[in-house]
Chains A and B, each alone.
Chain A
């Protein structure tokens, strides 16, 4: 009980300190926040990553309204956002999905002046630069599809226009996962995925828009080709990339392909696969079974992804106000802390810090050695004292992003070729 009231208190006080004036001006109808909000239900859907029941419970507790969550895989999420705009109020989607879905007009632009913590959102999602010196990575970088020209805009603009397509919520830098005990030597390059040494023991994910980027990282690392822009390949580049992988597939390089998180965990934990594309929480899931597994930082850098919250175009009135309240709450720290303790990053890291212990913050964000046991939000011990996060600090990891998950101009061609690769 005490922790809850403490959290509530700190959230309120933060809002107060963090810009009561902004909040008051930004939330246009404060009088609705009474008994009526209890009857509001917002329907959110998205990938399993951040569609967590804990968030819905906490929303009910802190904000009073009901959040209904539906978790789907990325393909179904895209499909639903594009084809059934009335089936949701809030879409929790990735930026590359946004690039596909935004032009349909099923989502509405969000007024950044109503977002209390807008100025604290990390640079990656605003100017595209994490630090002023950062080089913008290839692919669908979030800021390139993060803004639109106005309230009813269906286009993307490259500057901070005051109208956001998605409010960033969660992101991470992905790389290859390995079983150090079964490999027994250092792995430093993406090209190792196709190293014949791991014949029959490698895997790649069967989600075309993400898989193609992993492939591009491998092809470039092998020295086969240098892409002008991995995130927007020409037909010839797609043929070349998938050609190299089809050859490897026919030679028996891959044990299996995976499509869902659990599959990747099982492949790795059972030792069927020793090197594969993987997501961060899958690594921790393998490790928590007592099996060594490393999220290996590689010389060529990371393939990164980012997700955000979008509002359905049909949302209006009290529900729309509730949705803005939800977004402000989302960025105010509790969810950020919850996600960061699973290895993701929050769009406003500094607010999340208030909801993490110093040791947790040091381990997950600053890349410092853990002082004591590091537990995940569900109380399970993830790391023992002395452990250091693979890849180091936030700036080390997010600063070494080489490309973002992407949708290409030749997407349809790529998808067809991808199907041929799977059938080959």
Chain B
């Protein structure tokens, strides 16, 4: 009895240590620094609420957070629809396991290149004289190049969806593969139509996967700064860019305060989501 408890502690300690040193300590540091003060070139220890005060009273903060939520909501909706469809096709329409694996690996191929490259390659494609515009003009769909294709919210969200759909596909596919096929047969035997089976059997059983995918997409989009910078041509801001700007200008305390608020927001969102679905059941 005693021996097993020691073994238990030993087995748990490496992970706890890693989490403590590389996760808990840095976050604690960020929280501490968020109360510090800054001059133009240095930061000094203090305990003041100036950073939070400026942040929470500035209308820019609210606008930027709102913009970030907008990106999250639209990206989430798009990745969910695409991710669910792809996973559904893989899980229920492909009959053999071999082909399921082959097609699944096919989905991951674009992810063998860096995500910055995948993102930047949209720029020449969507530009004023880019492939998309020249194709549309030659087909006679438009007369003038369409401007909103690039350096707009459209291009930002397009890049997000492109970059993060796989994070939705994988967990949904994973949960779908665990659904007992006899349940679907039972539904069919009981006279359910295809839609009824989808809505009343598959979707409820896939919820944990959807939730895990949602958490991925939410965290990735909320924390992003580089996609927004490149795809909006630096014209739009999200919270990540606000932090990046502060860091670039040596305003670490203010950057930390923003980071703390972002962290709290994301945790609240995820906490709320987890109230709806028990993902532990799945893991």
Contact = CB atoms under 8 A, between A and B. Distances in A.
A415 B249 contact: yes
A103 interface: yes
Interface in B56-70: 58, 60, 63-64, 67
Interface string A43-63: 000000000000000000000
B147 A200 contact: yes
B234 A256 contact: yes
A422 B237 contact: yes
B234 A422 contact: yes
Interface of B is mostly: loop
Given A83-B250, A271-B129, A257 B233 contact: yes
B235 interface: yes
Nearest to B244: A75
A407 B250 CA distance: 14
B248 A75 contact: yes
Contacts of B41: 78, 82-83, 100-101, 103-104
Interface in A353-379: none
A419 interface: yes
A208 interface: yes
Contacts of A259: 229, 234
B129 A79 contact: no
B234 A411 contact: no
A258 B234 contact: yes
A393 interface: no
Interface residues of B, number: 33
A423 B64 contact: yes
A111 to B, nearest CB: 25
Contacts of B234: 206, 256-259, 422
A270 B242 contact: no
A280 interface: no
Interface string A259-276: 100000011001110000
Contacts of B124: 270
Contacts of A257: 233-235
Contacts of B235: 249, 254, 256-257, 422
Interface in B226-248: 229, 232-237, 241-242, 245-246, 248
B40 interface: yes
Nearest to A271: B129
Contacts of A208: 249
A12 interface: no
Interface string B74-103: 000000000000000000000000000000
A407 B41 CA distance: 12
Contact of B127 (A82, A100, A270): A270
A412 B128 CA distance: 37
Interface in B99-130: 123-124, 127-130
Nearest to A422: B237
Given A75-B248, A82-B41, A100-B40, A270 B129 contact: yes
A82 B250 contact: yes
Contacts of A415: 249, 251
A420 interface: yes
A129 interface: no
B247 to A, nearest CB: 8
Contact of A423 (B40, B42, B63, B249): B63
B150 interface: yes
A92 B248 CA distance: 18
A82 B124 CA distance: 38
Contacts of A200: 147
B128 A411 contact: no
Nearest to A74: B248
A423 B250 contact: no
A287 interface: no
A134 interface: no
Contacts of A206: 234
A242 B241 CA distance: 19
Contact of B249 (A75, A104, A203, A272): A75
Nearest to A206: B234
A261 B258 CA distance: 29
Given A100-B41, A104-B41, A272-B128, A420 B150 contact: no
9 contacts: A83-B42, A100-B41, A101-B41, A104-B41, A254-B233, A255-B151, A271-B128, A412-B40, A422-B235
Given A254-B233, A270-B129, 14 more contacts: A82-B41, A257-B233, A257-B235, A258-B233, A259-B229, A266-B123, A270-B128, A272-B150, A419-B246, A420-B58, A423-B60, A423-B63, A423-B237, A423-B241
Task: Report the 6 A-B pairs with minimum CB-CB distance, sorted nearest first.
Answer: A256-B233, A257-B234, A423-B237, A75-B248, A82-B41, A420-B60
